[in-house]
Amino acid sequence: MVETGAERFMHRGSHLLAHQGDLSLVNPDVVHTGEPASPAGYVYRAFYPQASFLQNIDPQGTLPYLRYPVVHDPELVQRFLHIHQELTRRFLHSGRRVDLGLETALLEAFHLLLHRHAERKAHHPFPGSHSVARQVQDFLEAHLQDPVRLETLAQVFQMHPVVLVRVFKRQFGLPPHAYQNQRRIDRSRSMLRQGRAVAETALELGFFDQSHFTKHFRRVMGVTPGVYQKAVGGWQTGSNRPIP
């Protein structure tokens, strides 16, 4: 949810804008970028629901597909904004988290979101799940922490490097190296929530060092890993307090 300003981001190869009062919606496992659309910057609030959470909302147990990456729905924005503000207030001032009332409000808001802006059927925007692009994706997932080079991918999949990048970018909206970094950031969020140290997380995921990790994390999430870990209640292993 964009509170003030505007966000510019790339989604499946297209450059999009989300203005004040808009919802930016990204399906699970779809990589994207995000940055201010102007030097004035922007303020946003975000929810990161697990795919299983969205799937359980559907009576048929199928994973809904969000149709559009940007929607203008003032009523829904106000619902999510109120819930996020209340969660923030409780976390910062009272230490209390979700109770039955807030949990119900959150569930109803996501149910309304899926009812208005999602499809209840399998969606295949790019035909051929076993295409070369998907195979490259699987390779990158299996070597998330490794410094994979383009020439390695070209040799493994017997394709010219330029063609490989073009095919991959057409399907996922980002070139292979950017996709790998995005997925590393996705994985790091889970590790930070579990209380893993920032430096340890950076090295395990293949970043050169902590500063390199912090640079990419802030570019995607808008905050440093330490700030994110504190906000989500992650506790560093072996420590008695959240990372500052």
pLDDT band at 78; cut points 50, 70, 90: very high
How many C-beta atoms surround the C-beta of residue 108 within 10 A? 13
The rounded distance, in Å, linking the Cα atoms of 70 and 84 is 19
In 3-state terms, what secondary structure has residue 149?
A: coil
- Do 55 and 61 meet the contact criterion of CB atoms below 8 Å apart? yes
Please say if the pLDDT value at position 90 is more than 70: yes
The rounded distance, in Å, linking the Cα atoms of 99 and 181 is 36
Domain ranges for the chain, please list them. Answer: 2-119, 128-244
- Please state which of the ranges 43-57, 69-83, 184-198 shows the lowest mean pLDDT: 43-57
Please say if the pLDDT value at position 60 is more than 80: no
The arithmetic mean of pLDDT across residues 170-198, rounded, is: 89
Please say if the pLDDT value at position 167 is more than 80: yes
Q: Report the pLDDT value the prediction gives residue 79, as an integer from 0 to 100.
A: 93
Q: Report the pLDDT value the prediction gives residue 222, as an integer from 0 to 100.
A: 83
Q: Report the pLDDT value the prediction gives residue 76, as an integer from 0 to 100.
A: 94
Q: Report the pLDDT value the prediction gives residue 138, as an integer from 0 to 100.
A: 93
Q: Report the pLDDT value the prediction gives residue 234, as an integer from 0 to 100.
A: 57
Q: Indicate the pTM of the whole model.
A: 0.54
The rounded distance, in Å, linking the Cα atoms of 3 and 55 is 28
Q: Report the pLDDT value the prediction gives residue 126, as an integer from 0 to 100.
A: 41
Q: Report the pLDDT value the prediction gives residue 177, as an integer from 0 to 100.
A: 86
DSSP calls for 43-97: EE------HHHHHHHSTT----EE--SEEE-HHHHHHHHHHHHHHHHIIIII---
Q: Which architecture, in CATH terms, is 128-244?
A: Orthogonal Bundle (1.10)
Please say if the pLDDT value at position 10 is more than 80: no
